[in-house]
Chain A
Amino acid sequence: MTSPRICATSSSASGQPEMAQESWPAPAVTPFRDALAAALRRAGQIPGLATLLTLAGTVAFWEVAVRLFAVPSYLLPAPSAILGTFGVIGWDRWATHIAATLRVALMGFGLSILIAIPLAVLMMRVQILSRTLYPLLVVIQSTPVVAIAPIIIVVLGAGDAPRIVITTLITFFPLVVATATGLAATPPELIELSRSLRAPGFREMTQIRLPFAVPYIFSALKISITLAVIGAVVAEFCAAEAGVGYFIQVSTSLFKLPQAWGGLLVLAAMSLALFQTVILVQRLLFPWSLPKSR
């Protein structure tokens, strides 16, 4: 909201930096280097091109290196071997595993949102709760989930329940902290406005504090959604009968390393897709909360 002021000051002083740039000594460049630089600059403006080129380069180097040095596939399979497993293992099998992992990840993530946001609201409203719950949350967060996962599975038994709980445990801390921070970061003037109107307290929460926390909540959601995939995989490592994590574990135990790598690739793609979905949701529902790109 202060941007117009920034604009005003920069425009009034805009003459100076430009002058400084012009008086800079121009480097002597050959026409070829000039053209190359221009081409690179233009290429840099195509979104994702640099990423794509880097990725393609890495994969190509990997393939060549594995073939050249005859690296055994249990150490490092070639990209072509990894991709080959997608042909061997049918799509229906992949779909089953992906669906299982996605289900646990999304349900754990959803549960985490359902717990974290009301909890943060409660902690905002009740000071004592905030003081007593924060240390507890930190303790939970600093306990390695991998270590408690087997215990949770023993306690909650078979089925999705223990896996969802594990995923929730791993994802909800960043959400609580970010939401609480966002709720407290509301401009004090608006809180005074709310008080001066003698408005009911819940509207201060719903009409001022929660919307102001939206950018904070979304940056935490982006972290949590990738953690949710990790949580689901950790749970599957402990006990599962399906899922991409389970698939990787079984493949490894059978020494089918290219398959395990294939599973890894699927997990990466899944995380990326989920992450992009969160960004898309923010862009569609709360466009005002995006950082200004101007």
Chain B
Amino acid sequence: MAPPPAIRFDRTGQVFSARSGRVEALRDVSFEVAQHEFLAVLGPSGCGKSTLLRMIAGLLAPTSGSVEVYGRPVTGPREDIGIVFQKPTLLPWATVEENVTFPRRHKTGRVSRADRTRAQELLEMTGLEGFGKRLPDELSGGMQQRVGIARALLMDPEILLMDEPFSALDALTREVMGFDLLKMFADRPKTVVFITHSVTEAALLADRVLVMTGRPGTVQTEIAVPLGRDRGPETLKELAVNDLASHLRDLLIGKRAA
């Protein structure tokens, strides 16, 4: 028997009952993410992408259908999942290094030497060496976002959930950080769910792209990206990327006009 997929949604729905009434965020969502696959999720604003992530993270239970991680239904937060938020949301009073080791300090109350070494490695990997003693305020937005990524990687999670991690950055920084991320995963493979609004980013980074429709969010299509994992700035010039990006754009715009 084949091993279960890392993540599996099966006719999953999410209905919020807010004071102003019921909001159906997701309906009948089914998809799978294989072990060490990089899945990009693309969809109009408010279609339930963040909700999707929160359900994988075990922060929110589905109201119908099921969410499984490694073949088991998600019943609560799991420790082998790391989250990168849209905003870096660092602790303003803690140094960069303390922010990166924060998950350990928060979980166990103390930080071991091994954690500190790991944090140092992560800072190097994210291009932040020498900034460990700075406060978040002294860093640029892109650097703060890197700290957020390093923080999510501290516990070496199997699954990494990224909610529009680069949306606050300029286009150039964004590309560079995307490729850095891929380089990182080449050394330490991870299952990644990456939410984005950028069709180019989805085409450049992902193994597969999940395109969603607007409220209530449903899966419109899944598209495999016809590129190997070895990608860099020159990948941008490849026709396949541009074709896929414009195809994705058509899908998104077409559905919105309909």
Contacts and interface: CB of A to CB of B under 8 A. Distances in A.
Interface of A: 1-5, 8, 187, 189-190, 192-199, 203, 207-208, 211, 214, 286, 288-289, 292
A4 B93 contact: no
Given A189-B89, A211-B93, A196 B107 contact: no
Interface in B42-97: 54, 57-59, 76-79, 81, 83, 85, 87-93
A198 B106 CA distance: 9
Contact of A189 (B87, B102, B135): B87
Nearest to B87: A189
B93 A8 contact: no
B132 interface: no
Contacts of A199: 106-107
Contact of A195 (B59, B87, B141, B170): B59
Contacts of A190: 89, 91
A102 to B, nearest CB: 31
Interface residues of B, number: 34
Nearest to B93: A288
Tell me whether chain B's interface is mostly helix, strand or loop, or mixed: loop
Contact of B81 (A8, A196, A289): A196
A211 B58 CA distance: 26
Interface string B8-21: 00000000000000
A196 B83 contact: yes
Interface of B: 54, 57-59, 76-79, 81, 83, 85, 87-93, 102-103, 105-107, 109, 135-137, 139-142, 144, 168, 170
Of B92, B142, B170, most buried by chain A (CB within 10 Å of CB) is: B92
Nearest to B57: A196
B59 A192 contact: yes
B190 to A, nearest CB: 16
16 contacts: A1-B92, A1-B136, A1-B137, A4-B142, A8-B170, A189-B85, A189-B87, A190-B91, A192-B59, A193-B83, A196-B58, A196-B59, A197-B77, A198-B76, A199-B106, A207-B106
Contact of A1 (B59, B81, B90, B109): B90
Contacts of A1: 87-90, 92, 136-137, 144
A289 B93 CA distance: 8
B137 A197 contact: no
A192 B54 CA distance: 9
B141 A5 contact: yes
B88 to A, nearest CB: 7
Contacts of B54: 192
